[in-house]
Structures are given as C-alpha cells and as structure tokens.
C-alpha cells in the first residue's frame, strides 16, 4: 500500500509589531521573551531605537495573540499599518511613519507639560531646601510641592516598575521609581512622624531624580525621532496621487490614488512632481532628479523609452509614462523594505549588550541593598546608609547599554540609504569593516551589461559608412544583442543608417545573417562563418586579432561576397569602474575579477581597470567555489555581482553585494545593494561600516565605563543622589547624540577618492 508523504509545514511569515512603553534593554529582553514563548513563533527581534518587534511565526499565529503576549509582559503592542508588513509598499511605510510621528508628537506634548511642572516645582523645592531649611513650614510645603512631581511627572516610571514587578522582572523604571520612592518615603516620615522631626529631608532628591531623568528621556525621544528620519523621509517620497490618462487619452486626466495604479496605465507627470511609480517614458523629454536613488545631485536626461523610478522628481518638462511596476515591486518599496529590515537586525555586539542588560538591573538592586547594609552595619545611621544606596540605584543606566548599538545601526542604515547603499543589517556592518578581498563580476558590474559597437575597421578599401549602413539594414529585424548593438551603433555614427529596407533576410543560427539591401548581397557574421560562406578573410586576420585582443567580439561585413568591414563589439566598461577599483585597492583590499567570459576579454577588462588577479570561463558554481577557497584561506570576502548567475557566489561570500541595476535574485542574495551600480561605492560602504563600528564601540565603552566608574562612587557616597540623577540622564542622551553624528557621514570627496586616508577616515562632523 502506498504511503502518503507528510505534508510540509506552511511557510512562516514575518510580522511587524510596534511596541509602546519600552525604556531600556531590560524591556527589550522582556518583550522578546514574551513573544518567543508564544506557540508557533520561531524568532522575535525587538529594537529599542525603532520601538518595533520583527516576529517570524507560523501563518496560524494571529496578530492579536502576539499583541496579547506583549500586553501580558507589561507593554502595549499593535500590528504596524500598511498591509502584511509596513514595508509592503512605500505608501504603507509612509503611513506607518505618519502614525509613529503622531504618537511621538503626542508623547512629547505630554512630556513637555510634565517637564514644565517638574522644573518649576523642583526649583521651588530647591529654594526652600537650601534657603529656608529651618523654617517650621518649609518641610510641609516641600512635601506638597514634591507630591505632584512624584505622582504625575514620575507616573511613567512608577507604572513601568509596577508592570515589571507584576511579571517578576525589573527595568530601568525600577531603578528610578525605587530611588525616588525611598527618598520621598523617608522625607515624609521625617516631616510627619514626631520621632523623626528635625532630621534632614530629601524632597529635593525625589524631585531632581524624577525631573532630571525625565529631561533626559525627553531629549532621548527627540533624538531617537531624528535617528529614524532618514527611513521616514524615504517612505514619504512616493506621492499619494497620480494623474492617470483614461484610455491613454491626454484629454481625459483623472487624479487617482497611487494604490489604484496598475501596470500598463498611462500617467502624466507634471513639472516638479515626483514620479508616482516605476515605469518608462512614452512621450516627452526632460530631466529627472534621481538623487534620492543615486546620491548624485545632477539631474538625469530622460527621453522616450527611458526608465523612471517612483519617488524621483521630474524636472521642468511634462512627461507621459507607462506604469511598469507597482506596490512592493517598485524600487522605492524595496529600498524601504531593506532599510527597515536592516534596522531590525541585531549585530553580535548588540546581543552581548542585551545579555549584560538582562542581569543589569537586578545586580544594581542587589548592590544597592548591599551598600545600605554595609553602611548601616559600620555604625552609620539610617539616613547615612540610605543616601549612598539611593545614589547607587539612581546612577546606574541600562538605557545607555540598550541604545548604544541599535541607534547607531538605525542612523547608519538610514544614512546609507540616502547615499544609495542598502545595507541589510547590523551584522553586515560588523563584517564589512573586516574585508580582505573583493571579488568582482564583470558583466553588469564592471561593465554596462549590454554590447555596444566600439570599433569599425574597413577592409580592402571599402566605404566603411556604406558597409555599416548595409549591415544595420539586414540586422534591423533581429533581436540578437549583437544585432541590436550594430543597429544602435549605426544610428549613432551615420546620418542615414538604413538604405531602402532589407529583403530576403535569413538568420543562420551558426553565426550570421544574410540578406539583400541597397541592391547588394550582404553577409554579417563571425569571420569563421563568413569564410565558410566563401568570403576571403585571410587579409583581415591581423585586424581581427587586434580587435579580439582588446576583448572585442569580432563581426565581419561582406558586400557581394567581399569582406568590407570588421566590427568590434564589446560590453563597455562603466565610466567609474577603474576609479572604483583603485579606491578598493587603496584601502588595502585584494581585488579579483571573476567572469564567465573568455580569457582575452577578462584580460582586457582586468588591464583597463588595473586588476592584477582574474579568473575567466567560470560557471556560477565555480564562482561560488572561488569565494569558498578564499574564505578557506582565512580571508573575509565580499562578492559583487548583478545577475542570477552571481547569486550562489553572493550567498557563499561573507558579504554579498548586489548592483542595484541587476536582477532581483542578486539583490535577494546580497547583504548590500549598490543602488547606482558604482563598484567604488563598496569603498563607501566600508567607510560607513568603519564609522558605524567606531561609534558603536565608543557608545559601549562609554556605557560600560560610566557604570563601572560611577556605580562604585555612588556606593562610596562620593556622588549624591541628585548628581546621580543628572549623570544618568546625561548618559543615555550622550550615547544617542554620539550615534547621530553618523547622519553627517560623507563619503570621500571625488577628487581624493584614490587616497586611502580619505576613505579610511571619512568625514564625520561633530
């Protein structure tokens, strides 16, 4: 009896949740734990900087189930708007960004009101505590002034601490709430209890702990909002409305939502308007600002047939376009999706910080209890023991640890997107700066990716212009890439490339085409094929060899059985390729060319770009094997390619880098996408990676050093509680502010891009 194979489990789906109420890395750990405990959830990654959770779960896991798990952990969660994930389309991501900005503005309004109350009342308490400490009414008035600060301004901290307590955990809120509560409770007792009257009170400590840390949290929220501006600006580039020509009729224009546009629609793009979606020009000529895509400020000329990318901005002339891609298929949507994913992924250095933060708060509470016990057991009174314990609780700052890495990755990913570098995640940033070798594909990476007529050598005194025109005539009906190159080359070189049409055109799969044009019998094909057809090619062997040695494909043109012209056709080098290779070599990288093309072509390209090491005739598997061999030597390898055939090598490399003009398969396999295709931008990615890693290390060093130095000082009563609150507030703001320096990252200037110094030390103002 035949047995039925077990059905494969349904594929897991990525989900995005927006989380409210997180303050530190301990919060991140709690939310991640709550989500991963839901049956059907494979993984969950929570980012404090973006306040988002990326969850991979089975299709039958409802969003409501995930939201409830987060709520049980003590936080609020809701599915991000914009479809299955907010990255589904640029418009969906823009709507998600609108929602985040609205919530951020509402939160900032409340915080500003609380801060105003906290600052005014804290100032009044300080005046009473230090100018009128002995007045009989001073302490009762300080108590009345401190209560609104404790109950309203400090409410977010107390709520967070209680939520964590209900679930058996601790967070940064616990530290703030415990410190403020202990100081207030003692001060209330010293004010109201007859046995304690006359002892000093610490209402100022309660007020300053809450107010100063609230100021720090306010500045942190503002700074985190700035960190996310790059991706939010990218998401808002796509317009919400498009001008559709009903039936393609210019006289019937209807304004429709960009969501309603489908492939094949004809749209009008007026001067100064952003392009609604991806497509091509069908009428009109003008210039388009593509700086959002390429980072280059010069507008790009567009004519009929030219590609248009949604989100780029039309210049001064109206254009009519045919829609090619919509929704999540557009380039802009892919950029938004890649950057969002990059900001959600955690590099290893952040995972280390998360593990430390998970035990940080309980450890600090234990240290504070130990501090109180040691001071009390060494003959000091209740107050003398309480003050250093409170300072220990307050000075500790898990926020700095939690924000050190994600904010830097968030800012770096956004800045990279602005520069045309789509970097998949923090782990990629950590790997790129260690690169030792870069393997470059040829076609579409170093070259334009399509053949072009580069040379025409007349033979036997024939008229080269007439011969080229006749060749173009018989090739005009062919779709072969070499035929297209001949026709396009004739159009560029000749005023009238086609004489009165070609007749009796026959294509031979063996290597050429023949036909009649202008009263002549014309043969166009490889010299070997022409020789087989009885054309004498012996006198042109030297010229053909010269073209071949330059990496050209040689095509002969015979008129009435006599060889008249040799054409050199090749995939031309990108204008920026040689300079890009020099930049990589100047950084000390080993640059290797790997191509499936012939050895003469590979040698010519390597010579023109200054590459010393090249490999020709490689299959996709051989390219991947070459990458594997290099990795086996202990070298960190990047592979740069653009085609489906490069996908195995891109996956095999430590860092796969796809040229954005290439295929979706290459982009899907790559960790970095170069939107504009300049291999020199690999150097920019490395420079950005190094700058980001430097910022992350500075942040983590600051966070660890801050706690390592200030916690013992607080335990020794060197730092009073009020100063501890100020230090804690400044700590997280310092980390975020340092990360924001990456917003001003500039690649090396074009004029000095060959200098290793300019690449290794990119402009990072501030």
pLDDT of 94 > 50? The answer is: yes
Question: Once rounded to an integer, what is the mean pLDDT over residues 311-328?
Answer: 86
Per the structure block, which two tokens stand in for 378? 């060494």
**Would you say residue 757 lies in a domain?**
no
pLDDT of res. 16: 81
**Would you say residue 518 lies in a domain?**
yes
- CA dist., res. 653 & res. 637, Å (int): 6
Task: Give the range of the structural domain holding residue 601, as residue numbers without chain letter.
Answer: 421-448+574-675
pLDDT of 611 > 80? The answer is: yes
pLDDT of res. 485: 85
Question: Once rounded to an integer, what is the mean pLDDT over residues 473-478?
Answer: 82
pLDDT band with cut points at 50, 70 and 90 for residue 236:
low
pLDDT band with cut points at 50, 70 and 90 for residue 156:
confident
pLDDT band with cut points at 50, 70 and 90 for residue 6:
very low
pLDDT of 273 > 60? The answer is: yes
- CA dist., res. 376 & res. 370, Å (int): 10
Question: Once rounded to an integer, what is the mean pLDDT over residues 147-159?
Answer: 90
**Would you say residue 48 lies in a domain?**
no
Lowest mean pLDDT among 108-122, 135-149, 236-250, 284-298: 284-298
| Domain end point (choices 570, 590, 617) | 570
pLDDT band with cut points at 50, 70 and 90 for residue 592:
very high
Q: Which long-range contacts (CB under 8 A, 24 or more apart) does 752-755 make?
A: 753/579, 753/582, 753/583, 753/680, 753/683, 754/579, 754/582, 754/583, 754/586, 755/586
pLDDT of res. 735: 81
- The helix/strand/coil state of 635 is coil
Per-residue pLDDT tens over the stretch 106-135: 878 888 898 899 999 989 998 888 788 778
pLDDT of 23 > 80? The answer is: no
Identify whether residues 535 and 598 lie together within a single domain.
no
Give me the CATH number covering residue 258.
Answer: 2.70.150.10
Identify whether residues 582 and 551 lie together within a single domain.
no
Identify whether residues 278 and 311 lie together within a single domain.
yes
pLDDT of 708 > 50? The answer is: yes
**Would you say residue 146 lies in a domain?**
no
DSSP 752: G
**Would you say residue 472 lies in a domain?**
yes
Identify whether residues 495 and 637 lie together within a single domain.
no
Question: Once rounded to an integer, what is the mean pLDDT over residues 637-642?
Answer: 84
pLDDT of res. 341: 62
Of 204, 441, 597, 642, the active-site residue reads: 441
Question: Once rounded to an integer, what is the mean pLDDT over residues 311-340?
Answer: 79
pLDDT band with cut points at 50, 70 and 90 for residue 710:
confident
Per-residue pLDDT tens over the stretch 202-223: 788 788 778 877 876 776 667 6
- CA dist., res. 706 & res. 397, Å (int): 8
Identify whether residues 478 and 551 lie together within a single domain.
yes
CA angle in degrees (0–180, nearest 5) for 342-55-236: 50
Identify whether residues 245 and 286 lie together within a single domain.
yes
Identify whether residues 494 and 557 lie together within a single domain.
yes
441 is catalytic: yes
pLDDT of res. 266: 93
Short-list 449, 431, 485, 415, CA closest to 641: 449
pLDDT band with cut points at 50, 70 and 90 for residue 227:
low
Give me the CATH number covering residue 559.
Answer: 3.40.1110.10
Question: Once rounded to an integer, what is the mean pLDDT over residues 325-351?
Answer: 66
pLDDT of 561 > 50? The answer is: yes
pLDDT of res. 399: 65
- The helix/strand/coil state of 574 is coil
pLDDT band with cut points at 50, 70 and 90 for residue 346:
low
**Would you say residue 603 lies in a domain?**
yes
Per-residue pLDDT tens over the stretch 492-501: 888 765 555 7
Cβ atoms within 10 Å of 244's Cβ, excluding its own: 22
| Domain end point (choices 623, 655, 675) | 675
pLDDT of 751 > 60? The answer is: no
**Would you say residue 170 lies in a domain?**
no
Question: What is the total count of domains within the chain?
Answer: 3
Q: Tell me what percent of the residues of the chain surpass a pLDDT of 90.
A: 10
Q: Which helix (H) or strand (E) holds 403?
A: helix 398-404
pLDDT of 74 > 90? The answer is: no
Identify whether residues 494 and 565 lie together within a single domain.
yes
pLDDT of 473 > 70? The answer is: yes
Identify whether residues 532 and 598 lie together within a single domain.
no
pLDDT band with cut points at 50, 70 and 90 for residue 84:
very low
Question: Once rounded to an integer, what is the mean pLDDT over residues 538-564?
Answer: 86
- CA dist., res. 211 & res. 379, Å (int): 33
pLDDT of 343 > 70? The answer is: no
| Domain end point (choices 620, 645, 675) | 675
pLDDT band with cut points at 50, 70 and 90 for residue 157:
confident
pLDDT of 753 > 50? The answer is: no
Give me the CATH number covering residue 588.
Answer: 3.40.50.1000
pLDDT of 524 > 80? The answer is: yes
């Amino acid at each position: 009896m035949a047995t039925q194979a077990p059905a494969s489990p349904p594929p897991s789906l990525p989900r995005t949740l927006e989380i409210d109420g997180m303050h530190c890395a301990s919060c991140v750990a709690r939310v991640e734990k709550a989500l991963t405990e839901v049956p059907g959830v494979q993984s969950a990654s929570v980012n404090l900087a973006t306040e988002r959770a990326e969850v991979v779960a089975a299709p039958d896991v409802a969003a409501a189930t995930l939201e409830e798990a987060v709520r049980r952990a003590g936080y609020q969660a809701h599915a991000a708007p914009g479809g299955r994930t907010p990255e589904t389309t640029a418009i969906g991501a823009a709507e998600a960004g609108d929602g985040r900005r609205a919530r951020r503005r509402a939160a900032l309004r409340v915080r500003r009101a609380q801060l105003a109350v906290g600052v005014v009342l804290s100032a009044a308490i300080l005046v009473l505590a230090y100018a009128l400490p002995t007045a009989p009414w001073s302490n009762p008035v300080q108590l009345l002034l401190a209560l609104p600060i404790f109950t309203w301004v400090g409410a977010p901290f107390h709520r967070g601490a209680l939520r964590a307590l209900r679930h058996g955990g601790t967070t940064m809120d616990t530290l703030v709430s415990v410190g403020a509560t202990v100081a207030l409770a003692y001060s209330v007792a010293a004010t109201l209890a007859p046995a304690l009257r006359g002892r000093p009170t610490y209402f100022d400590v309660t007020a300053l702990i809450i107010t100063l840390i609230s100021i720090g949290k306010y500045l942190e929220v503002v700074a985190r909002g700035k960190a996310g501006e790059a991706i939010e600006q990218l998401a808002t580039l796509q317009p919400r409305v498009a001008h559709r020509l009903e039936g393609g009729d210019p006289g019937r224009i209807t304004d429709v939502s960009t969501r309603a546009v489908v492939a094949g629609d004809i749209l009008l793009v007026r001067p100064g308007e952003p392009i609604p979606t991806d497509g091509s020009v069908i009428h009109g000529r003008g210039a388009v600002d593509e700086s959002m895509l390429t980072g280059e400020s010069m507008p790009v000329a567009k004519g009929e047939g030219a590609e248009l990318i949604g989100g780029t901005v039309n210049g001064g002339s109206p254009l009519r376009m045919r829609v090619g891609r919509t929704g999540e298929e557009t380039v802009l949507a892919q950029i938004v999706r890649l950057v969002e994913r990059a900001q959600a992924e955690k590099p290893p250095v952040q995972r280390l910080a998360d593990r430390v933060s998970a035990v940080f708060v309980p450890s600090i509470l234990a240290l504070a209890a130990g501090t109180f016990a040691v001071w009390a057991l060494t003959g000091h009174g209740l107050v003398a023991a309480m003050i250093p314990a409170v300072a220990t609780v307050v000075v500790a700052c898990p926020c700095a640890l939690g924000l050190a890495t994600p904010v830097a990755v968030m800012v770096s990913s956004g800045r990279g997107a602005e520069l045309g570098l789509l970097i998949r995640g923090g782990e990629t940033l950590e790997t790129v700066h260690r690169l030792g070798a870069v393997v470059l594909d040829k076609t579409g990476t170093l070259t334009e990716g399509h053949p072009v007529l580069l040379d025409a050598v007349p033979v036997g005194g024939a008229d080269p212009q007439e011969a080229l025109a006749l060749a173009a005539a018989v090739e005009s009906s062919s779709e072969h890439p070499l035929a297209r190159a001949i026709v396009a080359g004739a159009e560029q070189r000749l005023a009238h490339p086609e004489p009165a049409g070609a007749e009796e055109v026959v294509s031979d799969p063996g290597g050429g085409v023949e036909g009649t044009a202008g009263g002549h019998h014309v043969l166009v094909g490889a010299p070997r094929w022409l020789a087989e057809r009885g054309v004498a090619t012996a006198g042109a062997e030297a010229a053909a060899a010269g073209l071949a040695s330059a990496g050209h494909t040689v095509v002969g043109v015979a008129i009435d059985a006599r060889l008249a012209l040799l054409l050199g056709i090749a995939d031309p080098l990108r204008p920026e390729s040689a300079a890009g290779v020099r930049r990589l070599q100047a950084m000390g990288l080993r640059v290797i060319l790997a191509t499936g093309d012939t050895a003469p072509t590979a040698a010519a390209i390597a010579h023109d770009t200054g590459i010393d090491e090249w490999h020709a005739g490689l299959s996709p598997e051989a390219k991947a094997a070459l990458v594997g061999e290099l990795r086996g030597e202990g070298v960190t390898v990047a592979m740069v390619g653009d085609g489906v055939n490069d996908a195995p090598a891109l996956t095999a490399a430590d860092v796969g880098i796809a040229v954005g003009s290439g295929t979706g398969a290459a982009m899907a396999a790559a960790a970095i996408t170069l939107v504009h295709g300049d291999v020199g931008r690999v150097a920019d990615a490395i420079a950005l990676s190094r700058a980001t890693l430097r910022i992350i290390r500075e942040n983590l060093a600051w966070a660890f050093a801050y706690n390592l130095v200030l916690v013992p000082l607080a335990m020794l009563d060197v730092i009073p509680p009020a100063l501890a609150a100020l230090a804690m507030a400044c700590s997280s703001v310092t980390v975020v502010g340092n990360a924001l320096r990456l917003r001003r990252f500039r690649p090396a200037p074009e004029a000095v891009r060959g200098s290793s110094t300019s690449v290794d030390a990119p402009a990072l103002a501030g």
